[in-house]
């Protein structure tokens, strides 16, 4: 009896120890760091100084605004697109479903660094995309050298990488909606679009919330793409919070300030997740 009582803890011990050491401790330690300053060889408490400094920091403000612009342009667009694709792939009339499903998922397999570099080649001023655009008689687009276009480039790249991933999640959820619901709606004379808004979207709510929160966390941490695609430029136009944490921490070695920025990201994730819970959650 005694032995079986200890069993679950034995099974759990390695995970818990590693969690405490490498996740829980760092989370707490970085809160502490964010309220400190390195002075005369040791850390001293300075209260909210780092956070007050953030309010007056124009690069931080730029990073915050950029992250939000990318978030607002990218997440709803991508989620809508993946939902449409999932719906089409769920259609009973469609052939080659498996082939399309795997092909659309392929981008999600590549590393963030690899695809960022691939896009940086495609989006050069004289790269393939501009070559195609000018062939259609339009003028070349300064994808990576203009502030606005650089943000759009990041949005497009991220959409390429993640749409198929979200599509698979929606597809799974769609397959769980009983087919009879659509049959019944059809009998009542509801068209395809009506069915989509009255059956599909409400049934998908929990999954939309799930993908929404995942994408929010991902976008607020955005680092690999701006680091490799644009380097945060031109003129900080693609500077993100993730990149700013890295710069402060590992280029200027200001661990305290970088920790404060990291905690702004933590708070934003929390706030945005709560908002999404309120909007999509059951009332």
Partner 1 sequence: MKTKTGRKHLLGKVSMYGFLLVFLIISVFPFYWMFIGATNPSSSMFASPPTFIPGSHFMENLRNLDNNVGIWRVLFNSLFVAGLYVVLALAISTTAAYAFAKFSFKGRNVIFTVFLLSMMIPYQATLIPLFQMMANFNLLNTYFALIAPQLCYPFAIFLMRQNFLSFPTELLESARLDGAGEWRIFMQIVLPSMKPALAATSIFLFMFQWNNFMWPLIAIRTPDMYTFPVALSTLSGVSYTDYGQVMMGITIATVPILIFFLAMQKHFITGMLGSALK
Q: Which of residues 35-64 bind partner 1 (CB under 8 A)?
A: none
Is the bond preceding residue 234 a cis peptide, omega within 30 degrees? yes
Rounded to whole angstroms, the Cα distance separating 248 from 264 reads: 14
Binder of partner 1 out of 114, 235, 271, 279 (CB under 8 A) = 114
CB atoms within 10 A of CB 149: 17
Binding residues with partner 1: total (CB under 8 A): 88
- Between residue 193 and residue 212, which ones bind partner 1 under the rule CB under 8 A? 207, 210
Measure the CA–CA gap between 228 and 220, rounded to whole angstroms. Answer: 17
Min CB(239)–partner 1 separation in Å? 15
What stretches of the chain adopt beta strand conformation (E)?
36-39, 42-45
Q: Which stretch binds partner 1 (CB under 8 A): 127-135, 140-148, 179-187, 193-201?
A: 127-135
Using the structure block, give the residue that is written with the tokens 């993730």.
Answer: 242
DSSP assignment letter at 139: P
Smallest gap from Cβ 230 to partner 1, in A, equals 11
Quick one: 232 or 249, whose CB is closer to partner 1?
249
* 260 counts as binding partner 1 under rule CB under 8 A: no
Candidate list 64, 70, 78, 112; residue touching partner 1; CB under 8 A? 112
Least separation in angstroms between residue 37's CB and partner 1 is 14
Which contacts qualify for 5-10: CB closer than 8 Å, 24 or more apart? none
Is residue 182 part of the contact set for partner 1 (CB under 8 A)?
A: no
4-23 positions binding partner 1, by CB under 8 A? 4-5, 7-9, 11-12, 14-16, 18-19, 22-23
Check binding of 85 to partner 1 (CB under 8 A). Answer: yes
Distance in angstroms (rounded) separating the CA atoms of residues 189 and 96: 30
Residue 266 sits in the site that holds partner 1 (CB under 8 A): yes
- CA 243 – CA 231 distance, rounded (Å): 9
């Amino acid at each position: 009896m005694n032995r079986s009582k200890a069993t679950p803890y034995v099974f759990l011990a390695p995970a818990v120890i590693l969690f405490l050491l490498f996740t829980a401790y760092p989370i707490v330690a970085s809160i502490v760091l964010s309220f400190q300053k390195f002075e005369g060889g040791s850390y001293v408490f300075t209260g909210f100084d780092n956070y007050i400094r953030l309010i007056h920091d124009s690069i931080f403000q730029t990073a915050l605004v950029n992250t939000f612009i990318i978030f607002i342009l990218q997440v709803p667009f991508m989620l809508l697109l993946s939902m449409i694709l999932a719906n089409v792939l769920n259609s009973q009339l469609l052939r080659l479903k498996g082939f399309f499903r795997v092909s659309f998922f392929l981008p999600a397999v590549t590393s963030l660094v690899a695809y960022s570099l691939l896009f940086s080649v495609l989006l050069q001023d004289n790269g393939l995309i501009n070559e195609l655009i000018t062939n259609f008689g339009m003028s070349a687009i300064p994808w990576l050298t203009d502030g606005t276009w650089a943000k759009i480039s990041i949005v497009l790249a991220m959409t390429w990488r993640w749409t198929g991933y979200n599509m698979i999640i929606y597809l799974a959820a769609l397959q769980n909606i009983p087919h009879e619901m659509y049959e019944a709606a059809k009998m009542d004379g509801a068209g395809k679009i009506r069915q989509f808004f009255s059956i599909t979207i409400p049934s998908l709510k929990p999954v939309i919330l799930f993908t929404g929160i995942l994408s929010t966390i991902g976008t607020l941490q955005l680092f690999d793409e701006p680091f490799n695609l644009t380097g945060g430029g031109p003129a900080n136009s693609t500077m993100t919070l993730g990149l700013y944490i890295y710069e402060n921490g590992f280029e200027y070695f200001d661990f305290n300030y970088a920790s404060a920025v990291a905690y702004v990201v933590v708070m934003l994730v929390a706030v945005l997740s709560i908002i999404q819970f309120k909007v999509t959650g059951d009332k």
